[in-house]
Structure 1
């Protein structure tokens, strides 16, 4: 086997554990130095390849790479940039292959969600067509937990833990003051089309009457009358009401409640935001209760200080498995997590073809949502609970976590032509 270099890129919204996958990949690639040369990382994701802005990870010490395991964010930079359709739009793909060829890159590892796996799949096809085959391996990552085939997605378990802990703690705060102050608290969480993160908040409840009293899922159309009746009954029965709302909640005709005009993100998705204050205004106008609201936003996906131990380990293992699959000669595949036992919880790493996960969304099953549509069932609890188990604290100094910042030394460019993003 002729030794080739590897290219690794992080894609989309980052997580508390995406760097753990990078750690697993780079450490394992160093162990397979007879098959894999240098590991180059894309500065700001796939854009780094298009612009020939590569980072030489071989310039980083073993200690620095090891520290990625407990460092949140994207160590090499990420991006929201989706390559155009392959048919009739070959320029971007041909550019990737030219960059790969110039830097003797024979392995492409793409760490991201469904859109990213679609890109990796397309690159695996175009390489063959252009006479420069590239081994393309996807690495699963999404806090939304909406990747198909894999039991769960690295990044989700830590967000689930953060949201469940935050709801339990905030509920105690609200309950303490509910008699004379705030009676309704609304937490808005991420989740455009799938309510996995919102569902995880249900783990906070230990017994009937505990928060959250209402969970709003994208899978269940929002009904204002039913919502207000539930808020009112919760306040009457328990003295307060805690609501967790997924940003992707829609009305009965399928419109996002929180869509901001006609704005779109880089993937062409509607730009969401403002659901919590929207719901709070309804509560104020119709019920008159004093309220507070919060948006967990980036806090939920960057909270490495309270990451799930299971999530950290799974993130590391899919990065490790990506290299092992590539060295074995696998191509156009993605390592997946397989749940082999529920009680006790056990899992292992398998793999699936990229075409099985590219652009496929896994939504919250109906049997995970209670009949009234405002809570989670025991089936959901059984699925979710193991994913938030255990703590994996980063090192601390002077009361703050210690995170690594890589040198990110650039690789010298070899192509004369530049590439303009459109």
Structure 2
């Protein structure tokens, strides 16, 4: 990472990337409010890096102070997001030249890219192209991902709220199953996000404690699926408790490394598109044990549930946005403001810059010490780590009709100065 003294001249470009979270707009608010306080105008790229390539920019100076403040409690991606990974400079020089053209045309001197692992890689590449192409641009990666799998940072903004939603949903659904188990459902299966890392599945473990506390079975991507052990655990639980709640990560694999359920398609980052482990497990329960079951796949509901957001998560999301501006205006390049935990109890944290080179394309999986020896639950260490992240509520303003009063933006377009990008 590098530092240089800069005066606040030029514009800052902010872009959102990948799957959004219920608090990513809080980060956007942190960026815009911090930049306004320093007298730096902010443009936003419409639909992530694609907006930068297409010169499809949004002028946030046209937004009112109250509209920007409302971003702190509004889910989704206010400026649009995308799954698009830049290739290397050698493989696709034309895209990088186009970015520089757009930056130069609009006097963009700071680029803040808000995303996860692949987005950190893109941010690192963009940070390197200034030197390679003779343009003074400072690039800051801003952390965001519900999967909680970014390296170095203690946790990822967006994860705490998904963790809270998952734990609450597990608790509420389990109370439902318990009330119906005598004559109806014996097994409930909840499938949660997590392709390679079981952080979200682990968060479900916060719903209960003790041998008989739901969820009774958690299936992690880090633990190869053992059909016989799984069925034995479910059977023993139903016989002892009367019912069983199972939480399965979408990325659960068998001993051969194959996903339990694979749609056979890939997203724009080249990742296998998953979603379907729950019905596979449900069919196993029916065929092998004969139990009546229900299963659920919350999917987007996990990452859009702003009504169940964690106060800690919302505060951290805003803080990294503000810190990203501070890093940029301090002249830093190729860094990401990360969350550093300084105490478990009471929970304390701070934000510090870390090199993008140590974050990009790295993946933080669940520590072995967080998974119970039998592979079906979380340990006390995991509970100590996870519990503070779901703490507190992040209140919403409500409309008279009983729905949340989410914010809306004008999204005024910036006049184009270049010929259209050739797709």
Please state which band the TM-score falls in when normalised by the shorter chain: over 0.9
| DSSP-derived class of the 2:188 partner | strand
What per-residue deviation string (whole Å, max 9, x for no partner) do you get for residues 298-345 of structure 1?
A: 001000001000000000000000000111111110000000011111
Corresponding residue number in structure 2 for 1:298:
300
Corresponding residue number in structure 1 for 2:262:
259
Give, in angstroms, the shift of residue 207 of structure 1: 3.4
Alignment of 1:187-266 (within 5 A): 187-261=190-264, 263-266=265-268
Match of 1:27 among 25, 33, 39: 33
Q: For 1:126 and 1:333, locate their aligned partners in 2 and report how far apart those are by CA, in whole Å.
A: 15
Corresponding residue number in structure 1 for 2:275:
273
Corresponding residue number in structure 1 for 2:386:
384
Q: For 1:416 and 1:78, locate their aligned partners in 2 and report how far apart those are by CA, in whole Å.
A: 23
Q: TM-score, normalised by structure 2?
A: 0.97
Query: Which ranges of structure 1 fall in alignment gaps of 5 or more residues?
Result: none
Instruction: Establish whether residue 394 from structure 1 lines up as the match of residue 396 from structure 2.
Output: yes
Alignment of 1:15-414 (within 5 A): 15-33=21-39, 36=40, 38-261=41-264, 263-397=265-399, 398-414=401-417
Conserved 8 A contact 2:8-2:329: no
Q: For 1:183 and 1:212, locate their aligned partners in 2 and report how far apart those are by CA, in whole Å.
A: 13
Give, in angstroms, the shift of residue 2 of structure 1: 6.2
Give, in angstroms, the shift of residue 375 of structure 1: 0.1
Q: For 2:64 and 2:90, locate their aligned partners in 1 and report how far apart those are by CA, in whole Å.
A: 42
What per-residue deviation string (whole Å, max 9, x for no partner) do you get for residues 349-380 of structure 1?
A: 11101101001000001100000000000000
| DSSP-derived class of the 2:327 partner | helix
Q: TM-score, normalised by structure 1?
A: 0.98
Query: Which ranges of structure 2 fall in alignment gaps of 5 or more residues?
Result: 1-6
Structure 1 residues 317 and 161, CA gap change in structure 2 (3 angstroms): same
Structure 1 residues 205 and 268, CA gap change in structure 2 (3 angstroms): same
Q: For 1:41 and 1:416, locate their aligned partners in 2 and report how far apart those are by CA, in whole Å.
A: 19
Instruction: Establish whether residue 4 from structure 1 lines up as the match of residue 7 from structure 2.
Output: no
Q: For 1:179 and 1:333, locate their aligned partners in 2 and report how far apart those are by CA, in whole Å.
A: 56
Q: For 1:287 and 1:79, locate their aligned partners in 2 and report how far apart those are by CA, in whole Å.
A: 43
- Aligned pairs, number: 416
Structure 1 residues 413 and 347, CA gap change in structure 2 (3 angstroms): same
Q: For 1:417 and 1:66, locate their aligned partners in 2 and report how far apart those are by CA, in whole Å.
A: 33
Conserved 8 A contact 1:124-1:133: no
Name the Cα RMSD after superposition: 0.8
